[in-house]
């Protein structure tokens, strides 16, 4: 029996297991020293003063929008070629997401597409660094300044990516990261928000912890408990446990190794898939940008039958996914938007032909060779 090749897989070593186990031997499973240590390391890695760990990337987006005071009547420009949480988070604060098209190479919002989506109600741009490719933060920031807009970076797929030698997540008013197990580093479930001001960080810390004081002197287990039952604000339970933070801290300490292995895997796919007629590979390098490899999504030739290719690969135990089915085409969103006003030709055309191949930190040469040869066979069989 040939083993299956998953779409993604976390890279967990004995160091992570030891760190998690160590937390389990203490009473501090939440709001303990690992939370503070992870947040400090995360902020330092990005050269940003504050990092607030949260229970997911979606929770981070939700709180980032609230922290910037975005709400009813406001519009936020977002890509549709993105994970659905990007638009959902805007809806969660009763604001309206306005979908803008993307650049066909970087797959990101551009100043031109954002400009076309502007209205007098636009308050912010949610810039996603899609698949770990940095967006043009200089031009987007200039545009935001000109129009008095906030920028939230969604770096959930892009930890470690750089735009002109500066890490993504350090450009926006706030930036959000996600640590689901398919991401470059994982905490099981989890996320983080980067903030430049103490006021933003305090607001985020209060919101994630049921509106309590941002830096409570007590947890439920430690006296004085009066702080624990005092709620100056309406918040959520968006905390990240110390168990998860310990995992994240060790993962972050290995980030250089992780990103370099992923880059090598991307280069290897490039070599293995070169020369297949009509198959478009993601760019390996882009001027002024360092890519953090999240997924390896190819674009199939126009004539290819994508579902048939997926099932051909699935029969050989190879998982694939159609990253991304654009948000405006999702059943949950289709009836919420005025489709007549949408003009997203690049999103539509790329969304129809992408195929994400198995891609993870420890993917082996043999696994990549199997994927490449199965994809070649699948495409060749359709050309007959
Ligand atoms: C661009 C983007 N934003 C937000 C999220 C949401 O993160 P989470 O799944 O941790 O809620 C993801 C996760 O896949 C993502 O890729």
DSSP 83-119: -THHHHHHHHTT-EEEEE-B-TTT-SB-HHHHHHH--
For a mutational test of ligand 1's pocket, the pick from 7, 56, 57, i.e. the residue with the most ligand atoms closer than 8 A to its C-beta, is 57
**Tens digit of pLDDT for each residue in 170-205?**
999 999 999 999 999 999 999 999 999 999 999 999
Which pLDDT band holds residue 159 (cuts at 50, 70, 90)?
Answer: very high
What is the three-class DSSP state of 44?
A: helix
Cβ distance 176 to 153 under 8 Å?
yes
Give distance in angstroms: CA of 307 to centre of ligand 1.
24
Look at residue 221 and tell me whether its pLDDT is greater than 80.
no
Which pLDDT band holds residue 1 (cuts at 50, 70, 90)?
Answer: confident
Give distance in angstroms: CA of 364 to centre of ligand 1.
26
Residue 3 burial (C-beta neighbours within 10 Å; 0-12, 13-18, 19+): exposed
Which pLDDT band holds residue 219 (cuts at 50, 70, 90)?
Answer: confident
For a mutational test of ligand 1's pocket, the pick from 53, 58, 81, i.e. the residue with the most ligand atoms closer than 8 A to its C-beta, is 58
β-bridge mates for residue 175, sequence order: 153, 194
Give distance in angstroms: CA of 190 to centre of ligand 1.
10
Q: What is the mean pLDDT of residues 199-222?
A: 89
Q: By mean pLDDT, which of 12-21, 225-234, 245-254, 313-322 is the weakest?
A: 225-234
In this prediction, residue 275 carries a pLDDT of 93
The DSSP output letter for 198 is H
Our answer on whether the CB atom of 363 is closer than 6 Å to any ligand 1 atom is no
How large a percentage of the chain has pLDDT more than 70?
98
Q: Which long-range contacts (CB under 8 A, 24 or more apart) does 19-27 make?
A: 19/246, 19/247, 19/249, 19/250, 20/243, 20/246, 20/247, 22/246, 23/242, 23/243, 23/246, 24/243, 26/242, 27/221
Residue nearest to atom 14 of ligand 1 (CA): 83
Residue nearest to atom 7 of ligand 1 (CA): 57
Per the structure block, which two tokens stand in for 269?
A: 């796919």
Our answer on whether the CB atom of 35 is closer than 6 Å to any ligand 1 atom is no
Give distance in angstroms: CA of 287 to centre of ligand 1.
26
Which pLDDT band holds residue 2 (cuts at 50, 70, 90)?
Answer: confident
Which of 282, 281, 295, 304 has its CA nearest to residue 378?
304
pTM value? 0.97
In this prediction, residue 367 carries a pLDDT of 98
Distance from chain centroid for Cα 156: 2
Closest atom of ligand 1 to 129 CA is: 1
For a mutational test of ligand 1's pocket, the pick from 76, 155, 156, 297, i.e. the residue with the most ligand atoms closer than 8 A to its C-beta, is 156
**Tens digit of pLDDT for each residue in 50-107?**
999 999 999 999 999 999 999 999 999 999 999 999 999 999 999 999 999 999 999 9
Give distance in angstroms: CA of 54 to centre of ligand 1.
12
Closest atom of ligand 1 to 157 CA is: 16
**Tens digit of pLDDT for each residue in 235-250?**
999 999 999 999 999 9
Q: What domains, with CATH codes, occur in the chain?
A: 14-254 (3.40.640.10), 256-383 (3.90.1150.10)
Our answer on whether the CB atom of 86 is closer than 6 Å to any ligand 1 atom is yes
**Rounded to 5 degrees, what are φ and ψ at 78?**
-135, 155
Look at residue 220 and tell me whether its pLDDT is greater than 90.
no
Residue nearest to atom 8 of ligand 1 (CA): 57
Cβ-Cβ contacts under 8 Å for 366 (sequence gap 6 or more): none
Look at residue 384 and tell me whether its pLDDT is greater than 80.
no
Averaged pLDDT of the chain: 96
**Tens digit of pLDDT for each residue in 263-315?**
999 999 999 999 999 999 999 999 999 999 999 999 999 899 999 999 999 99
Give distance in angstroms: CA of 156 to centre of ligand 1.
6
Look at residue 35 and tell me whether its pLDDT is greater than 90.
yes
Which of 50, 208, 112 has its CA nearest to residue 125?
112
Cα angle 164-169-172, degrees, rounded to a multiple of 5: 95
Cβ distance 232 to 206 under 8 Å?
yes
Give distance in angstroms: CA of 226 to centre of ligand 1.
35
Look at residue 24 and tell me whether its pLDDT is greater than 90.
yes
């Amino acid at each position: 029996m040939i083993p299956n090749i998953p779409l993604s897989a976390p890279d967990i070593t004995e160091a992570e297991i030891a760190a998690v186990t160590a937390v389990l031997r203490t009473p501090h499973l939440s709001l303990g020293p690992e939370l503070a240590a992870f947040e400090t390391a995360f902020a330092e890695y990005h050269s940003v003063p504050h990092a607030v760990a949260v229970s997911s990337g979606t929770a981070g987006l939700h709180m980032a929008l609230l922290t910037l005071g975005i709400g009813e009547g406001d519009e936020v420009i977002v890509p549709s070629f993105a994970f659905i949480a990007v638009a959902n988070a805007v809806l969660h604060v009763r604001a309206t997401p306005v979908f803008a098209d993307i650049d066909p190479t970087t797959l990101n919002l551009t100043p031109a597409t954002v400009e076309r989506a502007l209205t007098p109600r636009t308050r912010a741009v949610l810039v996603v660094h899609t698949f770990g490719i940095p967006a043009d933060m200089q031009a987007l920031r200039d545009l935001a300044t000109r129009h008095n807009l906030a920028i939230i970076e969604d770096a959930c797929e892009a930890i470690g990516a750089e735009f002109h030698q500066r890490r993504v997540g350090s450009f926006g008013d706030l930036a959000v990261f996600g640590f689901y197990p398919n991401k470059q580093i994982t905490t099981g479930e989890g996320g983080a928000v980067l903030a430049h001001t103490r006021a933003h960080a305090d607001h985020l810390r209060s919101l994630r912890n049921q509106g309590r004081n941002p830096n409570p002197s007590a947890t439920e287990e430690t006296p004085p408990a009066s702080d624990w039952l005092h709620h100056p604000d309406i918040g959520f339970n968006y905390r990240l446990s110390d168990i998860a933070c310990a995992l994240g801290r060790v993962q972050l300490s290995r980030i250089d190794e992780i990103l370099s292995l992923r880059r090598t895997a991307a280069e290897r796919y490039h070599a293995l898939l070169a020369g297949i007629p009509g198959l478009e590979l993601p760019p390996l390098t882009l001027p002024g940008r360092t890519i953090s490899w999240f997924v390896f999504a190819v674009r199939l030739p126009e004539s290819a039958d994508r579902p048939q290719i997926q099932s051909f690969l699935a029969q050989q135990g190879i998982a694939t996914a159609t990253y991304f089915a654009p948000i405006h085409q999702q059943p949950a969103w289709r009836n919420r938007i005025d489709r007549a006003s949408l003009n997203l030709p690049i999103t539509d055309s790329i969304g129809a032909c992408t195929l994400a191949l198995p891609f993870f930190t420890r993917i082996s040469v043999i696994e990549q060779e199997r994927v490449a040869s199965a994809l070649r066979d699948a495409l060749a069989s359709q050309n007959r």
